[in-house]
Amino acid sequence: MKKSAKKVIKKKTKSLFASKKKQNNNSIKIAFYIVFIIVILFVLYFINFKKPRQSTTTNENNVISEIFNPDSSSMITLPSSFKAYKQSDDEASGPACIMVLLSYYGNDEVFTEDIIRGLKSKHEAFHIGTCVNQIKEILTTLKIKYWTKENYKEISSLANEQVGINLIEKAINEGYPVIVGWNKKPGQWSMVIGYDNKTTDGSEDDVLTMVNTDSEPNTDIYYKVSAKEFEEKWTFDNVFSGEPSAKDSNDKCFVIVEKN
For 119-140, the pLDDT digits (tens) are: 887 776 666 678 888 899 999 9
Whether 70 and 108 share a structural domain: yes
Determine the structural domain holding residue 39 and report its residue range. Answer: 1-51
The answer to whether residues 46 and 72 belong to one domain is no
Question: Are both 199 and 99 inside the same structural domain?
Answer: yes
Q: What is the mean pLDDT of residues 43-68?
A: 43
Q: What is the mean pLDDT of the chain?
A: 77
Q: Which residues contact 129 (CB under 8 A, 6 or more apart)?
A: 90, 91, 93, 94, 187, 239, 240
* Domain shared by 172 and 85, yes or no: yes
Q: pTM of this prediction?
A: 0.69
Quick one: 125 and 18 in the same domain? Answer: no
Total of domains in the chain: 2
User: Domain holding 104: CATH number?
Assistant: 3.90.70
36 has pLDDT over 80: no
| Claim to verify: residue 9 and residue 127 sit in the same structural domain | no
Query: Do 68 and 47 reside in the same domain of the chain?
Result: no
- Distance, in Å, from the CA atom of 219 to the CA atom of 114, rounded to the nearest integer, reads 22
Look at residue 4 in the predicted model and tell me its pLDDT.
54
Which residues fall within 8 angstroms of residue 256, CB to CB, at 6 or more apart? 146, 147, 148, 152, 155, 158, 171, 176, 177, 178
Helix, strand or coil, per DSSP, at residue 196: strand
The reply to whether 41 and 132 lie within a common domain is no
Q: Answer yes or no: is pLDDT of 71 > 80.
A: no
Residue 210 belongs to what H/E stretch? strand 207-211
Q: What is the mean pLDDT of residues 72-77?
A: 65
> In this structure, are 70 and 41 located in the same domain?
no
Query: Residue 12: CB partners within 8 Å, gap ≥ 6?
Result: none
H or E, element range at 50: helix 2-50
Q: Mean pLDDT over residues 202-230, rounded?
A: 86
